[in-house]
Chains A and B, each alone.
Chain A
Amino acid sequence: KNQVEQSPQSLIILEGKNCTLQCNYTVSPFSNLRWYKQDTGRGPVSLTIMTFSENTKSNGRYTATLDADTKQSSLHITASQLSDSASYICVVSGSMDSNYQLIWGAGTKLIIKP
């Protein structure tokens, strides 16, 4: 079954600290992997999109890694800020029945404390 699992479910860190969020997937065949940030009461906003051949991709203080062999991805946040408090969602795109489908993880809720 195609699944995307994220860990931890929630995380609390102090402002200025780094953190890493994990994503494991079983989607096959794989097309690309995305990380979204969702602020409370808002729609998801794309952070990165990674294809099979990309191992690392950065967007400011956010760095995503992808290991397509082990089907794992991580999102590393450097020098966290209060505005980083949000849910971070891993989404994997695969091709099934000739259609592309997005398989969404349940997200990691990140809280940054001053």
Chain B
Amino acid sequence: NAGVTQTPKFQVLKTGQSMTLQCAQDMNHEYMSWYRQDPGMGLRLIHYSVGAGITDQGEVPNGYNVSRSTTEDFPLRLLSAAPSQTSVYFCASSRSWGQGSGTEAFFGQGTRLTVV
């Protein structure tokens, strides 16, 4: 099993450009999520999905869109990149909804995004 695969690993964008960060998992997990990690701060939830066709906003959703057309894929779209979106982005998946249930979350290797 590959687990959670994110692409690309590194990306530089100019302000105003758009792009899609890809995330795929091969574990048939229902729950997928996107986080950003900034220096000195904990991971912050951007968007999440509890199953195909269902998405919802997390703590910091502005400037990002998601869709979940299949169980496997959960792409994150930056509509118009801003320097404040410079960060490391992680995709995660877990077997079921309800992180409170104690279900382990598996993370991708991350995408380091720089917006200039």
Contact = CB atoms under 8 A, between A and B. Distances in A.
Which bucket holds chain A's interface residue count? 20 to 34
Interface of A: 4, 31-32, 41-46, 49, 51, 89, 91, 93-95, 100-107
Interface of B: 4, 40-45, 90, 92, 97-102, 104-105, 107-110
B99 A43 contact: no
A44 B100 CA distance: 18
A42 B110 contact: yes
B40 A106 contact: yes
Contact of A106 (B42, B92, B100, B109): B42
Contacts of A93: 99-100, 102
Contact of A31 (B42, B100, B104): B100
B86 to A, nearest CB: 16
Given A42-B109, A42-B110, A43-B109, A100 B101 contact: yes
Contacts of B90: 43-44
Sorted from nearest, which 7 A-B pairs have the closest CB atoms?
Answer: A43-B107, A104-B42, A100-B100, A31-B100, A104-B43, A93-B100, A100-B99
B94 to A, nearest CB: 10
